[in-house]
Structure 1
Amino acid sequence: MADKEKKVPTSRYARAARIGRLGATQSVKQMGTRAANTVRSEEAGRAAMERRQFEAAEQLVTVLGTMKGAAMKLGQVLSFLDVGLVPEEYRAEFQVKLAALRDAAPKVAFKDMKKVIEADLGDRLSAVFSEFDEHAIAAASIGQVYRATLREDGREVAVKVQYPGVSAAVRADMQNLGMIMRIIGRLAPGLDTSALADEIRERVIEELDYELEASNQRRLARIYRGHPFIVIPGVVGDLCRERVIVTEFVEGQGFEEFKATCTEEERDRLGEIVFRFYFGSMYRFLQFSGDPHPGNFLVMPDGRICFLDFGLFKTIEQRVADVELHSQRLTHERRGQDLVTYWRQEGFLTGAKEMEPDRLLAFADMATGWYTKDEPVQLTPEIASDIVLGVSTPMGEHFARMRHESMPPEYLFGRRLEHLTLAVLGQLEARANWHRIAREWVYGDDPVTELGKAEAAWLASRHA
């Protein structure tokens, strides 16, 4: 690949040109397919359009992955939400493409990344590291990760480095986001592209500051120190800068490798740990990573799970958590009228038309039933997609009624965490009685699983 192809385009117009070419190409192809369909049988015409839809979605993923920055972040969101961008018969093939985008973004030449490291650390690479593997071990939306050894004390570390020019690229993407959303809207007309755009604009800029991410990671590492099955890598604080973050290196299996070889028992155990980490962090500690996706954790050889990447991070007030938990209790206990009264009091119901209790309970069941109903549930990509699309897009049965209501902004980030955790569990196809696990923080119940009992013992020792 030529050097010019490895560079991240940073100007708004250069990046818009790539997106524009994609949109124009797909529009022409779809028009051609529709014209050809006039002389095809209905079945052949439908098959041709479905193939064209798959090709458009595949090309979109390719372009977003090449662009990196906020555009690639959008591609990653699509990759683990599985929002039904392609017809059913192409899903398996498309998931392979999405997994590649999620776990192995296109690489930037090391000589360019080295310049960023040395500029931010203010020293030669060889002066800081005794060994530095030039081959990236992971790639994310705005940077790459390398394995190295510290010269000072011989520790093995992971060095995450931002792509050169990615800050300007992200800001250019923010201006072009509407164009990207229009392309996605043609692929998935039911997707609420406006809400997705707002979410990306609000949060993606935070990821550019690795010093902020290091602070977030340090906080969670303190909280989870000594945990029986959750690991947060330590941060090498004096080597963290705006574009470089250095952390303890952790060996482990990635999501796709683990999923390909794991047993059902191992799959379900990982699902419970993922659920406990993301939901438990929010409700127990009022601070949590806001970016659950399969690329952000490793399965360590001893069975513990290492969680990574804390650029998107949120701290909430106790009152916000209390409202969430009380709403979950009212839903589980089928107290529909009390839920209507409570949601109107808290600003969730603002429409002039009075909400019917049964209608609100049906909506809450659609959104949270997988963990508010006391029964085992095996999650799948299809179930996760149905839930997310069912509560947030025009294809959902409750959209027409709920679109007139409101969601106070302090609760939006929690919904993101909930939906994306669900998406990960769906990709894992994990099975559990999620409600019985959640009761530990919803009702303060004693744990009923072995993992729960181990965590309860750790919490007791931590409080002591």
Structure 2
Amino acid sequence: MSDAPLPTSRVSRGAALGRLAAKQTLRRVVIKAGSVGLSESRRATMLDAADQRMARDFVAVLGDMRGAAMKMGQLLSFIDLGIVDERSRTAFSAQLSRLQGSADALPFEMLRPVIETELGPVGQVFASFETNAFAAASIGQVYRAVTHDGRQVAVKVQYPGVRSAVRADLKNLALFLRMWKSRVPAVAARDFLDEITGELSRELDYRQEFANQARVAQRFADHPFIHVPAPVAELSSDSVLTTEYVDGLTAQQVAELPAADRDRVGEIVYRFYLGSLFSDCEFNGDAHPGNFLYLPDRRVAFLDFGLYKRMAPEAVDMERRAAQLCIEADGDGLRALLEQAGVLRHDSNVTAADCLQYTLDAAGWNFVDDYVRIEPAEVSAAMLGAVYPGARPFESMRNERLPPEHLFSRRLDFLVFGTISHIGAGGNWYRIAAEWIHGAPPVTDLGVAEAAWRAARG
């Protein structure tokens, strides 16, 4: 990690990504041109090595850039979008997983002015402050400190210049998506670009993140298995967010636990993200393996509430009804619902069977009444099938329009199952979801405990 300030201009950040792509393309061209006469296995080995070097380059470049560019790397680490050959994908993801938890930290002296400008001298504001960051991510890095009243806290500080960097990344993203409009029309729609730009821009607003986290922490207070660290108002500002400190196992460590423990954590992740959508009409939109910790008391702590989404109850009801119709295999009813919601054009030639197949292909794991352990490749295939024009399911839907808020909820589904597959968890997702899709009684121990908690809270 360089000690230089973050590059913040649109040109410099776009150029960094462009050089990265060009470098990988050149490597593969050179290997293919120079491997004439070599055996196929030797040529494949050379290409695999090139993919490994690209993964290391990705980690270095995106880690240096931070901002929205680093978030792209986090996504690629657990949802495979087919960037490298199939043989290399596991190793490629393993390299990029370094971006999930912590990039290399910038020196504290680069971030000290942010704290002292907004809160005051570090030595006066906190009783003690560890200047070695224990986490460094896309927007800022996090330090451990102790308040004057003895509380252990985590202090998240934005990188100087990161707001300009994110704005530059979003402008580049808008340009890239417009260029891809003929290939991925639903993703490149103007209203979706506006939506994602607004959501990612709000991630920079620590005041709003404070409000989001405070409300969700209050909502899940005394929950039997979900914990949201409470923020500390007097030690938070525009660019500093201080919360209760929590320590636990990371996703990578959870993946090494026995299957029963992994399944339990997976169910908690499922209930927190997707259960919140249907129960509360709002959800944390940044579901990825770096945003939870498995605590010693067997609760799961959820972190990072910058990318937070609220949905109108009518939109949530539409998603609930769509799931019911899919479970009932009622393609005609599903098609009518999608047309009524504006997803399908009135003159669309998409059939009822197309609608049913597309929904099952994109989220079938929610509709199987059996124990299902999702593999990362299955999540990747479903996501690619939903947005990639070369996939058969997409062809039938490529000219239709999914409203932006539903795009975010579908994105959440992919991210949640990407996270669940990353830790190797399984479950009967259909039976769990039946609680909020059909109003069914819970059938798991966690479901029973949560129902009792909700009843006690009224």
For the Cα contact (< 8 Å) 1:102–1:295, is it kept in 2? yes
Separation in structure 1 between the aligned mates of residue 125 and residue 288 of structure 2, nearest angstrom: 32
Matched, 1:204 2:204: no
For the Cα contact (< 8 Å) 1:288–1:313, is it kept in 2? yes
Residue among 121, 125, 134 paired with 1:124: 121
Secondary structure in structure 2 of the residue aligned to 1:160: strand
Separation in structure 2 between the aligned mates of residue 192 and residue 256 of structure 1, nearest angstrom: 33
| TM-score of the pair, normalised by structure 1 | 0.91
TM-aligned CA deviation for residue 87 of structure 1? 2.2
Could you list the per-position Cα deviations for residues 65-106 of structure 1 after superposition, in whole angstroms to 9, with x for gaps in the alignment? 211011111111211223232223323322221111111112
Separation in structure 2 between the aligned mates of residue 342 and residue 2 of structure 1, nearest angstrom: 53
Matched, 1:409 2:404: yes
1:203-282 alignment to 2 at 5 Å? 203-260=199-256, 262-282=257-277
TM-aligned CA deviation for residue 308 of structure 1? 0.5
Matched, 1:337 2:332: yes
Could you list the per-position Cα deviations for residues 315-356 of structure 1 after superposition, in whole angstroms to 9, with x for gaps in the alignment? 111101100000000000111111111111111111634332
**Structure 1 stretch displaced more, 71-80 or 13-22:** 13-22
Aligned to 2:163: 167
1:7-406 alignment to 2 at 5 Å? 7-41=5-39, 44-121=42-119, 123-151=120-148, 153-177=149-173, 194=188, 198=193, 200-260=196-256, 262-350=257-345, 352-406=347-401
Q: What's the C-alpha RMSD, in Å, of the aligned pairs?
A: 2.5
Indicate how the Cα distance of structure 1 residues 24 and 82 shifts in structure 2: closer, same or farther if over 3 A, else same.
Answer: closer
Separation in structure 1 between the aligned mates of residue 78 and residue 2 of structure 2, nearest angstrom: 31
TM-aligned CA deviation for residue 295 of structure 1? 0.7
Could you list the per-position Cα deviations for residues 228-271 of structure 1 after superposition, in whole angstroms to 9, with x for gaps in the alignment? 000011111122111100111112111112222x1100000000
Separation in structure 2 between the aligned mates of residue 98 and residue 410 of structure 1, nearest angstrom: 28
**Structure 1 stretch displaced more, 278-287 or 84-93:** 84-93
For the Cα contact (< 8 Å) 1:161–1:243, is it kept in 2? yes
**Structure 1 stretch displaced more, 389-398 or 123-132:** 389-398
TM-aligned CA deviation for residue 219 of structure 1? 1.1
Separation in structure 2 between the aligned mates of residue 219 and residue 417 of structure 1, nearest angstrom: 20
Separation in structure 2 between the aligned mates of residue 178 and residue 210 of structure 1, nearest angstrom: 24
Letter paired with 1:3: D
Q: What is the aligned residue count?
A: 454
Unpaired runs of 5+ in structure 2? none
Residue identity (%): 42
Letter paired with 2:104: P
Could you list the per-position Cα deviations for residues 41-80 of structure 1 after superposition, in whole angstroms to 9, with x for gaps in the alignment? 5554455445434433442332112110111111112112
Separation in structure 2 between the aligned mates of residue 46 and residue 402 of structure 1, nearest angstrom: 36
For the Cα contact (< 8 Å) 2:186–2:398, is it kept in 1? no
Separation in structure 2 between the aligned mates of residue 250 and residue 88 of structure 1, nearest angstrom: 37
For the Cα contact (< 8 Å) 2:16–2:61, is it kept in 1? yes
TM-aligned CA deviation for residue 203 of structure 1? 2.4
Indicate how the Cα distance of structure 1 residues 168 and 335 shifts in structure 2: closer, same or farther if over 3 A, else same.
Answer: same
Separation in structure 2 between the aligned mates of residue 147 and residue 361 of structure 1, nearest angstrom: 50
Secondary structure in structure 1 of the residue aligned to 2:203: helix
Matched, 1:455 2:441: no
TM-aligned CA deviation for residue 140 of structure 1? 1.4
Letter paired with 1:24: A
